Amino acid sequence: MRYRYVTADVFTGHAYQGNPLAVVLDAEGLGTAQMQRIAREFNYSETSFVLPAQDPAHTARVRIFTPDREVPFAGHPNVGTAVVLAREQVTAGLPAPQGFVFEEEAGLVRIALNYGPQGLAGAELLAPQPLSRGSEAPVSAVARALKLDPADIDVSEHAPQVVSVGLPFLVAQLVNRDALRRAMPDASGYAALMPLVGAKSIYVYTTDTASDAMDAPTDIQARMLTGRMTEDPATGSATAAVTALRAFLRDDEGMLRLRVGQGVDMGRASLLLAHAESRPDGVWAGVSGQAVVVMEGTLPAPAQD
C-alpha cells in the first residue's frame, strides 16, 4: 500500500527556507516501527503522521517522529500539518477551516488558521501544557556541551534550565550574537550533561539581535542544537517554552510577545511569533508562523519488523 505525503517549509514564507516537514496523510494502518522508518528516510527534524481522531469532536490524531524517536509534541510539525490539512480541504472545494484540534501524546493542541490577501498564510498553536521548570544545569557543563567559554553563558536573567510546555529542552541565554554563532554541540559534553537534566537538546538564544539582517527586527535570535549533533532550523515548542519562561520572570502579568529568529546561521532563516501569558493555572504559551508547501508524492509502506 502507498501513502500520500506533502512536505512544507515551516516558519517561513519562502520555499527552501525555514524548517522542512513531511506530513504523511491518512496514515491509518502504519505501525510505530513503520512510522519511525519513514521519518528516518525523510531525515527531517520531524515527520508527522495524520490519523483519525479518537474523539470525533477533534480534527485528527497526530503522531510526530524525529529520525530516532517519537516525541509527544513539537511546534513546527503542528504549524506545518495544519497548513497542509487546510490546503487539502480548500483544494477539495470544502470551506476554508478556521481552526483545528489535534490529539497528541502531550495533550490537545489547538490551532487557529491565518488567512491573508493571498489566502492561507499560516497557523498559530497553543501549547498543550503550561510552563514547567525542571533542573538547572551547571554553567561549566553547559559551556562544555556547546564548545563555549563559561563567560559566554548569560546568567543575569536565569540559569541554564530545563523548561517545557509539552516537550523538555535545556535552555541557555548567551551574552551576545557572536557567542551564539560560535556554539557547536560537543558529543562528550552532551553525554555527560543531558542524561542528568532529562532533556535531549539545548536551545541557546540571545537578545543581542541588532546585527542580524532579517526582513524585520527580532527580539531574540536562537539556535537549537540537538542530541544527534545536528541543528534544527526552527523549533516552535522550545520557542514557546522560552517565551513562557521569560513571561514567568517578568514582574507584570500582561501578554509577552516576542519575534524570534532562528536558522539564520545555517542558511534557513525562520521567523517565529511567540506569545505567553500568566494565568491562574500557569503560564501558557503559543507560537505562530507561515508555512509553504514544497513537494508532494506517495511512498510505500515499509515492511513490518
Confidence of residue 242 (pLDDT cuts 50, 70, 90): very high
The whole-number pLDDT of residue 253 equals 74
- Report whether 194 contacts 179 (CB < 8 A): no
pTM summary value? 0.96
Same domain, 137 and 54: no
Q: For 153-190, what is each residue's pLDDT tens digit?
A: 999 999 999 999 999 999 999 999 999 999 999 999 99
Q: For 264-276, what is each residue's pLDDT tens digit?
A: 999 999 999 999 9
Annotated catalytic residue: which of 28, 46, 136, 231?
46
For residue 159, being part of any structural domain is answered with yes
The whole-number pLDDT of residue 215 equals 66
Domain hosting 77: range is 2-128+290-300
**Mean predicted confidence (pLDDT) in 35-46:** 98
Q: What is the CATH number of the domain that holds 97?
A: 3.10.310.10
The whole-number pLDDT of residue 210 equals 80
In this structure, what are the phi and psi dihedrals at residue 286, rounded to the nearest 5 degrees? -150, 175
Pairing of strands 19-24, 46-51: parallel
**Mean predicted confidence (pLDDT) in 248-252:** 84
Distances in whole angstroms, Cα of residue 59 to Cα of each of 56, 62, 106, 156: 7, 9, 16, 43
For residue 48, being part of any structural domain is answered with yes
What type of residue is 76? H
The whole-number pLDDT of residue 157 equals 96
Which helix H or strand E contains 133, and what residues bound it?
Answer: strand 132-136
Same domain, 144 and 234: yes
Same domain, 64 and 99: yes
**Mean predicted confidence (pLDDT) in 113-121:** 92
The whole-number pLDDT of residue 71 equals 97
Confidence of residue 102 (pLDDT cuts 50, 70, 90): very high
Integer Cα distance of 78 and 75 in angstroms: 5
For residue 174, the 8-state DSSP code is B
For residue 57, the 8-state DSSP code is T
Same domain, 122 and 137: no
For residue 175, being part of any structural domain is answered with yes
Same domain, 75 and 188: no
- Report whether 273 contacts 285 (CB < 8 A): no
Confidence of residue 304 (pLDDT cuts 50, 70, 90): confident
Whether residue 10 has pLDDT greater than 90:
yes
Which helix H or strand E contains 76, and what residues bound it?
Answer: helix 75-91
Confidence of residue 87 (pLDDT cuts 50, 70, 90): very high
Whether residue 78 has pLDDT greater than 80:
yes
Reported in sequence order, the residue ranges of 165-255 that DSSP labels E, i.e. its strands, are 169-173, 202-206, 220-225, 231-232
Instruction: Give the list of residues 6+ apart from residue 272 with CB closer than 8 angstroms, or none.
Output: 11, 75, 234, 236, 239, 259, 260, 261, 262, 287, 288, 289
Integer Cα distance of 17 and 32 in angstroms: 29
The whole-number pLDDT of residue 212 equals 72
Read off the C-alpha cell for 109.
493542541
Same domain, 136 and 235: yes
Confidence of residue 214 (pLDDT cuts 50, 70, 90): low
For residue 245, the 8-state DSSP code is H
The whole-number pLDDT of residue 200 equals 94
Mean pLDDT of the chain: 96
Same domain, 265 and 295: no
The whole-number pLDDT of residue 185 equals 97
Whether residue 216 has pLDDT greater than 80:
no
Q: For 136-159, what is each residue's pLDDT tens digit?
A: 999 999 999 999 999 999 999 999
Integer Cα distance of 197 and 211 in angstroms: 33
For residue 26, being part of any structural domain is answered with yes
Tally of structural domains, the chain:
2
7: which strand partners?
A: 22, 295
254 compared with 302, residue with greater pLDDT: 302
The whole-number pLDDT of residue 213 equals 63
Same domain, 115 and 137: no
Same domain, 90 and 184: no
Whether residue 58 has pLDDT greater than 90:
yes
Same domain, 103 and 142: no
Whether residue 254 has pLDDT greater than 90:
no
For residue 305, being part of any structural domain is answered with no
Same domain, 85 and 109: yes
Whether residue 94 has pLDDT greater than 70:
yes
Please return the burial class of 305, using the count of CB atoms within 10 Å of its CB with bins 0-12, 13-18 and 19+: exposed
DSSP-based three-state secondary structure for 33 = helix
| 253 included as an active-site residue | no
Read off the C-alpha cell for 247.
513571561
Same domain, 136 and 60: no
